[in-house]
Amino acid sequence: MSTIFRRFSLVLLVAALGAAPLRAQAQTQAPATEIRVAMLAPSALLWLHAIAKDQGFYAERKIAVKELIAGSSPTLLQAVSSGSVEAGMSLGDVVIRAIDQGAPVIITGAILEKTVLRLVGGTGVSTIKELGGATVTAGAVEGGTANMLRFQLQRGGVDPRSVKMVGLTNSRDRVVALGNGQVKGALLIAPFDTMAEREKMPILDVYKEPYVQTPLIVNRTWADKNRDAAIGLTKALQKAAVWIYEPANKQKAIEILASFTNVPADICAESYAFIVDQQQAIGRNLEVSAASLENIIKIDQAIGANPASSKPFDLSRYYDPSFLAAK
């Protein structure tokens, strides 16, 4: 019996020694940091977010993103500014205005450094000039996207003051409105622009210059206290930006957008062709150039609108590159 007991004791000792490192690892492994991120309804604006979530890039950085859908860009910005959420994926013009007014937010990267909005004509419309005096929509009736539409109209020979701007914030509703004649022109984001094309509605114009349509922003106070988490969020999206340009990832990227937006994959494939191949709207390194913010202000000035900023331009007021530069 003593021999059996000694053997049994030895087995227990070996098992205990083997389990000790596992227990130590479990005790030392830090839990993921939850980050509440405000964003708009699913669209190509959030493609990198969908990729980072699907491919585990957030998890690699020990963060867990909690999505909070905002009804509008100003509401989203207010949530980040007040600290109700830690970060957000906003619109460039809204961020510029808020920072100029003292909001404690900062841009850490450009999710979209060019616009992915395309001006689409409705039934029977083939040129921008035919939109003179017509009813059109950019989603909102004021702000960056509305001013972008006015600028495109002006560039195409139409007096922006001659059109009637109506609010239709849902992209699907804009496609329907184009089809039934409720509006004659609309700015549409992928993949909904392709849906309109499938209904024989023409693409009338695309703005191709640098233009931060979707910046990643964080609450400054939170980021100062939780720098590793803020860096992790930024770097995860940066990795997604690099990932999407790899040819081997093309089909998977299309599938991710299709699932995220509940739009057929063949339509999302055309969105990939426009956003990634043609427009190259997603910044390969998420960096923010001065021109990409200045052009927002210049468009406002060109159409005589209240500019996003009236202060002497200083990129560092809006953008902190240290989050991208971190390891």
The whole-angstrom separation of Cα 306 and Cα 166 is: 19
The whole-angstrom separation of Cα 220 and Cα 222 is: 5
Q: Return the bridge partners of 139, or none.
A: 167
Task: Decide if 186 contacts 138 (C-beta within 8 A).
Answer: yes
Q: What is the pLDDT of residues 308-324, one digit of tens each?
A: 999 999 999 999 999 99
Q: pLDDT at position 113, please?
A: 95
Check whether residue 189 and residue 222 sit in a common domain. no
The whole-angstrom separation of Cα 200 and Cα 122 is: 9
Q: pLDDT at position 4, please?
A: 38
Task: Decide if 88 contacts 214 (C-beta within 8 A).
Answer: no
Residue 14 covered by a domain: no
Lowest mean pLDDT among 79-88, 125-134, 305-314: 305-314
316 contacts: CB under 8 Å, gap ≥ 6: none
Place of tokens 């409705």: 122
Q: Which of 160, 180, 206 is the last residue of a domain?
A: 206
pLDDT band at residue 41, thresholds of 50, 70 and 90? Answer: confident
Check whether residue 176 and residue 318 sit in a common domain. no
**Cα dihedral: 104, 108, 114, 120 (round 10):** -50
The whole-angstrom separation of Cα 282 and Cα 118 is: 15
**Residue 197 parent element (H or E):** helix 192-198
Task: Find the domain containing 170 and state its range.
Answer: 117-206
pLDDT band at residue 24, thresholds of 50, 70 and 90? Answer: very low
Q: What is the pLDDT of residues 211-264, one digit of tens each?
A: 999 999 999 999 999 999 999 999 999 999 999 999 999 999 999 999 999 999
Q: Indicate the number of domains in the chain.
A: 2
Residue type, 166: V
283 contacts: CB under 8 Å, gap ≥ 6: 109, 110, 111, 112, 113, 241
Q: What is the pLDDT of residues 134-144, one digit of tens each?
A: 999 999 999 99
Q: What is the pLDDT of residues 148-197, one digit of tens each?
A: 999 999 999 999 999 999 999 888 899 999 999 999 999 999 889 999 99
Q: Which of 206, 222, 244 is the last residue of a domain?
A: 206
Q: pLDDT at position 2, please?
A: 42
Residue 13 covered by a domain: no
Q: What are the Cα distances from residue 251, in Å, to 55, 147, 271, 272, 296?
A: 14, 34, 12, 9, 33
Task: Decide if 66 contacts 33 (C-beta within 8 A).
Answer: no
pLDDT band at residue 29, thresholds of 50, 70 and 90? Answer: low
Check whether residue 85 and residue 148 sit in a common domain. no
Task: Decide if 132 contacts 103 (C-beta within 8 A).
Answer: no
Give which of 257, 276, 280, 277 is closest to 267, Cα–Cα. 257
9 contacts: CB under 8 Å, gap ≥ 6: none
Mean residue pLDDT across the chain: 91
Check whether residue 188 and residue 218 sit in a common domain. no
Residue 172 covered by a domain: yes
Check whether residue 126 and residue 194 sit in a common domain. yes
Written as six digits, the tokens of 322 are 């240290």
The whole-angstrom separation of Cα 33 and Cα 24 is: 20
* Alpha-helix runs per DSSP H in 226-281: 227-244, 250-261, 265-272
Please give the radius of gyration of the chain, using alpha carbons only, rounded to the nearest integer.
24
Q: pLDDT at position 194, please?
A: 93
- CATH number assigned to the domain comprising residue 181: 3.40.190.10
